[in-house]
Amino acid sequence: MRSFILTAAVFVWGYAGIALAAEIDGQWARGDGNATVIIAPCGTDICAVNTWIKPGTPKEKKGDKLVMTIKSGVDGVYSGRAYDPQRELTYNLTVTVNGDKMTTRGCIVAGILCKAIDWTRMN
């Protein structure tokens, strides 16, 4: 009986983790209106791929990818690292998802240089 309860608890906890991770998946529009991305699993990581870039936006193009190695935490907060192969940069990354709103915060240079971007889920 104890084994069954432990197995059930692990299953429920594991399922809750899957549900949290699914919140980040989908299509998102950047708050400044310059880009849209699709976020989905890619292998063991999660990738954000540019699906549209506003013409004239410097240093970005459709198809650019950010590879995120992040773990879901509580209250829709994900944390870990992200690799940008176009710029060959690795960031410390925190992503906060709250319903149809998301904020990404990436830091480089030992967390000294950081930038946050707001996103809205597209339906």
pLDDT at 4 over 90: no
Q: Is residue 10 within a helix (H) or strand (E), and if so which, with residue range?
A: helix 2-22
CA nearest neighbour of 67 among 92, 50, 45, 43: 45
∠85-86-89 over CA atoms, to 5°?
A: 60
| pLDDT at site 6 | 28
Domain 2-121 fold is Lipocalin (2.40.128)
38-80 pLDDT per residue, tens: 999 999 999 999 999 999 988 899 999 999 999 998 889 999 9
All residues at 6 or more sequence positions from 77 whose CB lies less than 8 Å from its CB, including other chains: 94, 95, 96, 97
pTM (predicted TM-score) = 0.78
d(CA 120, CA 118): 7
For the chain, domain boundaries: 2-121
State the pLDDT confidence band at 2, using cuts at 50, 70 and 90: very low
